[in-house]
Amino acid sequence: MASSRDDFIIAIRSAFLKRSTQQKFSLLTLLLVSAFVIILSSLDFKVVRYLKIGINEVVYRSSFIVSIPENFLKNTFIAISDYSSFYNDYRNNREELNDLKSKDISNEIIKFENTELKELINDYVSSSDKILAKIIVDHQSPYLRSIIINKGSKDNIKIGTNIYDQSYLVGRVIEVNYKTSRVLLLSDLNSNVPVTIAPQNTQAILTGNGDKNGQIKYIKSSLSDELSDESIVYTSGTGAIFKSGVPVGKLRIIKDKTIKLNVEFYSDFSQLKYVFAEVITKKQINKPDLEPNENDNNSNTTINAKIQILEDEIKIIEETNIKLKDKNEILANEINQKNSDIFILKDKISTQAETIEEYNLDAKEVEFLKMNLYYGHKCRRTFINVKGFTVGTEEYKRCVLRKGRKD
């Protein structure tokens, strides 16, 4: 106990020694006041008790007043923290919702593309001479309707290769690069396709008008009157540019001041994503082996199928020739009828020419008779007019027409 008191005294003494006079006085005053307060708190006087109560009340009130801005700041900070946390949670939830929506939309798009690709692949499998191509550039302008596909010369694409939207004709290749090709659509102004209009089998030319529809041109007006609305239009194969029998669209007859024959294409060229290119490859024919094998059987099956296709095409050509012969006979009869009409018209013209000639002769004769009344005595030979001419001779007529002048 004595040692602790000595340590306390030593600490106070060292504190006094290290400070200046003013600091020593302030520290001494603080010690005295503290000792006085401690002594008063240990005494149980009434005055001291009231003083303690007053001091406690002042301290309580002061601490309450001081705690008001502190609590306000504390509550404000908590509210801001809660709002910030809520906003962060809201933003995260909204981002997650947008991600889910975009994923849902992406899944729908992928499902749609998968369905479309399955249909295209099924069509691709069923047609071994067609290759699937993707449209990478779409040129749409009032004067140019063309697309660029991702197939070129390395895929056996050539100028004139027919391009299809599944089973419908889209256009033909007009420019070939190594990996890409340009396709001229049927709606282009420079597109001209020989077509047949069913069921009348009327031959015509389909041209593009720069819009989503085509227009029928180079058709006889007599044949256009026989056409019906919504007739099927397909390629005729004339000129060996397009394959025959490929559907193109439906005929739309617009009756205004003049009759317009438009074609509504089966394919919407503005919505194309994938197309088929019909590639014709030349295969080398090997000499047949003496021993048959499975490959020979497969090749024979393929050859038989091709022969069947050729036979069907020959039948179609023969039927077309028969129809053309019938039309030629009808045209020949019409030509004979026109020739007979022309012969009759020639007879009428010759008869009318003779009538006109007779009328001209009659008019000249009347004119001669009029002039003969006035000038006949000057031209007629008499005893007095010895130099005159005999009536009825050519010299007499010329003299009358010259009004009596004999020279």
DSSP state of 393: S
Prediction pTM value: 0.42
For the segment(s) 129-278, the CATH number from 3.30.1320.10, 3.20.20.140, 2.40.10.340, 1.10.3720.10 is: 2.40.10.340
The phi and psi torsions of 230 (rounded to 5 degrees) equal 65, 25
Over 70: is that where the pLDDT of 248 sits?
Answer: yes
Q: Does 124 have pLDDT greater than 50?
A: no
Q: Write the pLDDT tens digit of every residue in 366-395.
A: 778 878 877 877 888 887 777 788 887 888
Q: 287 CB contacts (<8 Å, ≥6 apart)? A: none
* Widest distance between CA atoms in the chain: 210
CA–CA gap between residue 30 and residue 36 (Å, rounded): 10
Alpha-carbon distance 254 to 236, whole Å? 23
pLDDT at 163: 92
Report how far residue 376's alpha carbon sits from residue 404's, in angstroms, rounded to the nearest whole number. 7
Q: Following DSSP, what letter does each residue of 347-383 receive, concatenated?
A: HHHHHHHHHHHHHHHHHHHHHHHHHHHHHHHHHB--S
Q: Report pLDDT digits (tens) over 69-90.
A: 767 777 777 878 777 777 777 7
Q: Please give the DSSP secondary-structure letter assigned to residue 285.
A: -
Strand partners, 117: none
Q: What percent of the chain has pLDDT over 70?
A: 67
8 Å CB contact between 147 and 185 = yes
* Residues 6 or more apart whose Cβ sits within 8 Å of residue 134: 149, 150, 273, 274
CA distance 241 to 233: 17
CA–chain centroid gap for 317, Å, is: 35
Q: Which has the closest alpha carbon to 135: 89, 90, 185?
A: 185
CB-count burial class (<10 Å; 0-12, 13-18, 19+) for 261:
buried
How big is the chain by its Cα radius of gyration, in Å? 58
Q: pLDDT tens-digit profile of 306-360?
A: 677 667 667 767 776 777 777 777 877 888 888 778 888 888 787 777 777 766 6
Letter for the amino acid at 199? Answer: P
Cα 134 from chain centroid (whole Å): 15
Lowest average pLDDT, out of 99-108, 136-145, 273-282, goes to: 99-108
Query: Residue 305's pLDDT is what?
Result: 67
